[in-house]
């Protein structure tokens, strides 16, 4: 499995957010996209499954230009978990996750669907929420449900826009770690946006650092990407990097320059 | 996993192993989960069946009511005899099948059509207040009818002048909404606002026309704007039924996609749905449906708004069950409203459009208050 982005510019309307993006992701593993606010992380992942058409350049999945693929074909390869879920007419959590199986089965829910959804809830530790209405949940619980819906699509590529945004630290560690473990054990490519650099560094097999004005600054392992120079330059903070269990950890200076 | 972690049990790793493991459909837990799910499906269907049963019973109650006394069971027998071509009493057959049955069938068809339309609009436009009224379809139909009634300006002449006018003008607001949606990337809020704008424009035109209308025309117009099924005859029912049944079948077939659409535009696109096309196609379909029924019955409000909400309380928001249950509940609601309208202040009749609001309003308020949730 691979995603190739070549010389891509993208944005909304006339506004360009991404400039000359070249990014090649290949093989299973967890890729964490990091970078400051407004740098185009969400825009970049939206280009990976054609939620947004790039202004120029080319995006291909497994060697096929996505412009020549139908939405259905893209959906079968790439599952996407948006940063925020909508719930105008809330369903129970079980049914909400079940919608993710729409491409896997026919009109009627199959036993496989039911078992898969049940397992996804169990994997994420939210089995107890199964019959609760979606709109009664907290923001963090919403996020877990959205991740479950991403999982049950069983695609070879899973893209998540800030899946840990509303989670407490244990759940941030859990979800990020789980994404890494699933990527390894199921052989899928997981791409997620993260703002928690330390947790992303702990589990990412690959990191993509984005910087202003909407470019990819560096791609590599956590140790290669998360350096004091990179972090201070891109985020405009001073910090020290220490090694903890073989991964870089950022210790921030309390003073901003 | 990493050095320094050796010997510790990692819950994420364990969860991932669980996810990677083969699904065991035969296990006790799986069997129970599947069984529980089937039971929940049955419960959702039960509501629809209850509505069907209610429709049949209310039909009988509606038919026995009139100057000629008929037995409750007798009227089913007469209908059965008519269907099997074994007519016993020509007069009774005429009264039941020709005089009293058409309005019942018209009420069922109209109620079902309006309710499905409301259900689809609410889902597609992601707005609990969307219905044929708030989106301007009714105001377009009202203007078309007013044009025919007050000025005699109509697209076709004769008996169908009002019907055809109402139908054609009912489609105008949707055309504008879709055009706005297309220009603005089919944002649902934008489309609803366009619909409301059109509603006001048409309503003001209608008011202007009424200023110079003669009293007879105004009386006719009044009757049309409150809606009634009493004027429907067997000749009106085939076009109404054909469009409503076809629309309901198509909507039901797309109901799983409606669920996907409800997860949000980006999410739905990511799941392989062509969101813009789907929204436009469904809105066109239901505007045809609404235009067809209201052009025969006049403006009947409330059913389209309320029936889907009541059904959501009983069957939930899963459109696979909601569409059909809305159709059946809407049908019964209008059938009951028609019966009540004929009986409550007899021998005078209250138009069905008035009664739907009378029955539906308090019932809806009650159900809202009974809800545990504070948000819809």
- CA pair distance B119, B124, nearest whole angstrom: 9
Please answer yes or no on whether A119 and B4 come within 8 Å at the CB atom: no
Give the pLDDT of residue B228: 83
Give the pLDDT of residue B284: 87
How do residues A193-210 score in pLDDT, each as one tens digit?
999 999 999 999 999 999
- CA pair distance A32, A194, nearest whole angstrom: 6
Distance of residue B128 Cα from the nearest chain A Cα, in angstroms: 8
3-class secondary structure, B220: helix
Please answer yes or no on whether B128 and A89 come within 8 Å at the CB atom: yes
Distance of residue B45 Cα from the nearest chain A Cα, in angstroms: 13
Give the pLDDT of residue B185: 67
* Residue range B43-366, CATH number: 1.10.3470.10
B334, B229 Cβ separation under 8 angstroms: yes
What contacts B191, CB < 8 A, 6 or more positions away?
B125, B135, B177, B178, B180, B181
Give the pLDDT of residue B139: 87
Distance of residue A191 Cα from the nearest chain B Cα, in angstroms: 15
Query: How deeply is A220 buried, as exposed, middle or buried, from its count of CB atoms within 10 A (0-12, 13-18, 19+)?
Result: middle
How do residues A41-98 score in pLDDT, each as one tens digit?
999 999 999 999 999 999 999 999 999 999 999 999 999 999 888 777 889 999 999 9
Q: Name which of B254, B270, B308, B318 to mutate to probe chain A: the one with the most chain A Cβ atoms within 10 A of its Cβ.
A: B270
Distance of residue A256 Cα from the nearest chain B Cα, in angstroms: 33
Query: How deeply is B276 buried, as exposed, middle or buried, from its count of CB atoms within 10 A (0-12, 13-18, 19+)?
Result: middle
| Residue owning tokens 């696979």 | B320
A222, A196 Cβ separation under 8 angstroms: no
Give the pLDDT of residue B142: 86
How do residues A119-160 score in pLDDT, each as one tens digit?
999 999 999 999 999 988 999 999 999 999 999 999 999 999
Please answer yes or no on whether A85 and B263 come within 8 Å at the CB atom: yes
Give the pLDDT of residue B125: 87
Residue in B with minimal Cα distance to A70 = B272
- CA pair distance A149, A163, nearest whole angstrom: 12
Give the pLDDT of residue B72: 86
Give the closest of B25, B266, B320 to A112, CB-based: B25
Residue in B with minimal Cα distance to A101 = B271
- CA pair distance B318, B310, nearest whole angstrom: 13
What contacts A244, CB < 8 A, 6 or more positions away?
none
Give the pLDDT of residue B350: 84
Determine contact: B39 vs chain A, CB below 8 A. no
Please answer yes or no on whether A102 and B128 come within 8 Å at the CB atom: no
| Residue owning tokens 């079968």 | A76
- CA pair distance B290, B120, nearest whole angstrom: 12
What residues 253-282 of chain B have any CB closer than 8 A to a CB of chain A?
Answer: 253, 255-257, 259-260, 262-264, 266-267, 269-274
Determine contact: B41 vs chain A, CB below 8 A. yes
Measured CA to CA in angstroms, residue B179 lies from A209, A216, B134, B184 at distances of 41, 39, 17, 9
Residues of chain B under the 70 pLDDT cut: 1-7, 157, 159, 185-186, 371-376
Please answer yes or no on whether B266 and A51 come within 8 Å at the CB atom: yes
Residue in B with minimal Cα distance to A188 = B20
Determine contact: B249 vs chain A, CB below 8 A. no
- CA pair distance A117, A101, nearest whole angstrom: 8
Q: Name which of B19, B41, B265, B274 to mutate to probe chain A: the one with the most chain A Cβ atoms within 10 A of its Cβ.
A: B19
Q: Name which of B43, B271, B325 to mutate to probe chain A: the one with the most chain A Cβ atoms within 10 A of its Cβ.
A: B271
Please answer yes or no on whether B272 and A177 come within 8 Å at the CB atom: no
Query: The pTM is what?
Result: 0.90
How much is the ipTM here? 0.92
Question: Looking at residues A176-186, what average pLDDT do you find?
Answer: 95
- CA pair distance B20, B25, nearest whole angstrom: 15
- CA pair distance B300, B208, nearest whole angstrom: 22
A111, A138 Cβ separation under 8 angstroms: no
- For residue B22, how far is the Cα from the chain centroid? 43
Handedness of CA A213, A214, A219, A224 (dihedral sign): positive
- CA pair distance B192, B128, nearest whole angstrom: 11
Question: Domain coordinates of chain B in residue numbers?
Answer: 43-366
Please answer yes or no on whether A89 and B262 come within 8 Å at the CB atom: yes
Chain A residues with CB under 8 Å of B15 CB are 123-125, 174, 178, 181
Q: Where are the beta strands (DSSP E) in chain A?
A: 2-12, 15-26, 29-34, 56-61, 64-65, 78-81, 157-160, 189-193, 206-211, 215-220, 239-244, 247-252
- Strand pairing class (A157-160; A206-211): unpaired
Give the closest of B3, B257, B270 to A80, CB-based: B270
CB pairs A-B closer than 8 Å: 154
pLDDT higher than threshold 60 for residue A186: yes
Please answer yes or no on whether B20 and A186 come within 8 Å at the CB atom: yes
Helix/strand/coil (H/E/C) assignment for every residue in A128-161 = HHCCCEHHHCCHHHHHHHHHHHHHCCCCCEEEEC
Q: CA nearest B142: which of B209, B194, B88?
A: B209
Give the domains, in start order, of chain A with CATH numbers: 2-252 (3.40.50.300)
Q: CA nearest A55: which of A68, A67, A37?
A: A67
Chain A residues with CB under 8 Å of B33 CB are 114-115, 118
Chain A residues with CB under 8 Å of B16 CB are 123, 178, 181-182, 184-186
Task: Share the mean pLDDT of chain A.
Answer: 93
Q: Name which of A72, A76, A115 to mutate to probe chain B: the one with the most chain B Cβ atoms within 10 A of its Cβ.
A: A115
- CA pair distance A247, B356, nearest whole angstrom: 67
Give the pLDDT of residue B5: 54
Give the pLDDT of residue B355: 87
């Amino acid at each position: 499995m691979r995603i190739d982005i070549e010389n891509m510019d993208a944005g909304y309307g006339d506004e360009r957010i991404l400039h000359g993006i070249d990014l090649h992701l290949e093989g299973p593993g967890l890729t964490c996209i990091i970078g400051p606010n407004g740098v185009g992380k969400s825009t970049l992942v939206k280009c990976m499954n054609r939620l947004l058409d790039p202004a120029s350049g080319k995006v291909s999945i497994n060697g096929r230009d996505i412009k020549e693929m139908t939405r259905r074909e893209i959906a079968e390869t790439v599952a996407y978990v948006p940063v925020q879920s909508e719930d105008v007419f809330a369903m129970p959590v079980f049914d909400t996750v079940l919608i993710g199986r729409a491409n896997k089965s026919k009109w009627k829910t199959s036993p496989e669907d039911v078992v898969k959804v049940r397992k996804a809830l169990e994997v994420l530790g939210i089995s107890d929420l199964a019959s609760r209405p979606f709109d009664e949940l907290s923001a963090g619980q919403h996020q877990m449900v959205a991740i479950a819906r991403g999982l049950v699509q069983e695609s070879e590529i899973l893209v998540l826009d800030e899946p840990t945004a509303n989670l407490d630290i244990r759940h941030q560690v859990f979800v990020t770690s789980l994404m890494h473990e699933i990527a390894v054990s199921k052989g899928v490519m997981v791409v997620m946006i993260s703002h928690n650099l330390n947790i992303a560094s702990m589990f990412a097999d690959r990191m993509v650092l984005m910087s202003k004005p909407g470019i990819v600054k560096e791609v590599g392992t956590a140790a290669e990407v998360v350096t004091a120079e990179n972090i201070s330059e891109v985020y405009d903070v001073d910090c020290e990097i220490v090694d903890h269990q073989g991964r870089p950890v950022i210790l921030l200076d309390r003073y901003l320059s | 996993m990493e050095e320094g972690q050796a010997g510790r049990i990692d819950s994420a790793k364990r969860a991932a192993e669980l996810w990677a493991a083969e699904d065991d459909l035969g296990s006790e837990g799986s069997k129970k989960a599947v069984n529980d799910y089937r039971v929940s499906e049955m419960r959702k269907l039960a509501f629809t069946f209850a509505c069907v049963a209610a429709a049949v019973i209310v039909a009988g109650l509606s038919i026995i009511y009139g100057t000629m006394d008929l037995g409750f069971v007798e009227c089913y027998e007469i209908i059965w005899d008519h269907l099997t071509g074994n007519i016993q009493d020509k007069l009774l057959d005429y009264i039941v099948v020709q005089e009293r049955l058409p309005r019942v069938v018209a009420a069922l068809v109209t109620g079902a059509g309006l309710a499905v339309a409301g259900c689809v609009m609410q889902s597609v436009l992601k707005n609990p207040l969307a219905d044929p009224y708030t989106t301007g379809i009714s105001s377009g139909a009202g203007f078309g009818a007013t044009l025919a009634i007050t000025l005699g300006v109509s697209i076709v002449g004769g008996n169908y002048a009002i019907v055809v006018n109402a139908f054609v003008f009912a489609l105008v607001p949707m055309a504008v909404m879709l055009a706005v949606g297309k220009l603005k990337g089919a944002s649902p809020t934008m489309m609803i606002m366009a619909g409301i704008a059109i509603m006001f424009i048409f309503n003001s035109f209608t008011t202007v026309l009424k200023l110079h209308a003669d009293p007879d025309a105004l009386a006719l117009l009044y009757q049309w704007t409150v809606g009634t099924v009493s004027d429907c005859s067997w000749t009106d029912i085939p076009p109404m039924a054909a469009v409503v049944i076809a629309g309901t079948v198509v909507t039901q077939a797309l109901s799983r996609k409606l669920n996907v659409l409800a997860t949000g535009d980006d999410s739905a696109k990511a799941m392989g749905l062509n969101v813009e096309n789907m929204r436009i196609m469904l809105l066109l379909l239901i505007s045809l449906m609404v235009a067809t029924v209201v052009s025969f019955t006049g403006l009947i409000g409330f059913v389209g708004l309320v029936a889907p909400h009541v059904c959501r309380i009983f069957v939930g928001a899963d459109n696979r069950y909601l569409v059909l249950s809305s159709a059946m509940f809407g049908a019964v609601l209008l059938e009951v409203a028609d019966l009540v309208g004929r009986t409550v202040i007899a021998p005078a009749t209250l138009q069905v459009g008035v009664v739907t609001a009378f029955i539906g309003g308090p019932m809806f308020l009650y159900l809202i208050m009974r809800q545990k949730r504070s948000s819809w």
